[in-house]
Amino acid sequence: PTLTRFFALHFLLPFVIVGLTLVHLTFLHETGSNNPTGVPSDCDKIPFHPYYTIKDILGFVLMLSLLVSLALFAPNLLGDPENFTPANPLVTPPHIKPEWYFLFAYAILRSIPNKLGGVLALAASILVLFLMPLLHTSKLRSMTFRPLSQILFWTLVANVLILTWVGSQPVEHP
């Protein structure tokens, strides 16, 4: 049952992401862009609909055609040769690692020996990102004149990079 849920999540998640992207593009095309400096300049805004809709459709068609041609003409081009070795169901192979964008969370997960604590820390590390829009209450959308926000942002970037590097290293017991 766990593998079935895991497969269902990984099968459905790309469709959810595509749906949310389409909703985002729809709202972006309807309302236009915002101004990061906070200065009202409605006369300078370019209406999105005719130009950017065609640009987005063209980009989508090009990306889809490249992806379909890769999948149909060279399906093993991006594959790993180690995936063709016979599997031992009792041991996870050493080349199985999470994707690079999950490595920071993987480092947090394996740093806590308790399973429940690791899962809670992993969930908290991702859910804390949802607090960012709630903490940003200023009308000024830019960080140019906010040095404390710049320091906090670059500290977050440094933490994620270090955790990503740690997550990519092999596990060694202390």
**Would you please indicate which residues are annotated as catalytic (active-site) residues?**
29, 33, 55-56, 99
Q: Give the pair of three-digit tokens for residue 173.
A: 């017991």
Q: DSSP 3-state assignment of 169?
A: coil
Closest CA to 167 of 104, 112, 115, 109: 104
Distance of CA 144 to the CA centre of its chain: 25
Three-class SS string for 27-84?
A: HHHHHCCCCCCCCCCHHHCCCCHHHHHHHHHHHHHHHHHHHHHHHHHCCCCCCCHHHH
Q: Residue 146, exposed/middle/buried by CB under 10 A (0-12, 13-18, 19+)?
A: middle
Contact yes or no for 145/84 (Cβ under 8 A) = no
